[in-house]
Amino acid sequence: MLTVTGRRELYISNYKGILEYGDSFLRIQTKTCRIIVSGTRLAVDYYTSEEMKITGFIDCIQYES
Per-domain residue ranges of the chain: 2-64
**pLDDT at site 40:** 97
Q: Rounded CA gap, 33 and 42, in Å?
A: 21
- Other Cβ atoms within 10 Å of 9 Cβ, number: 14
Helix (H) / strand (E) element for 40: namely strand 34-47
- For residue range 4-62, list pLDDT tens digits in order: 999 999 999 999 999 999 999 999 999 899 999 999 999 999 999 999 999 999 999 99
- CATH number for the domain whose boundaries are 2-64: 2.60.40.2000
**pLDDT at site 65:** 86
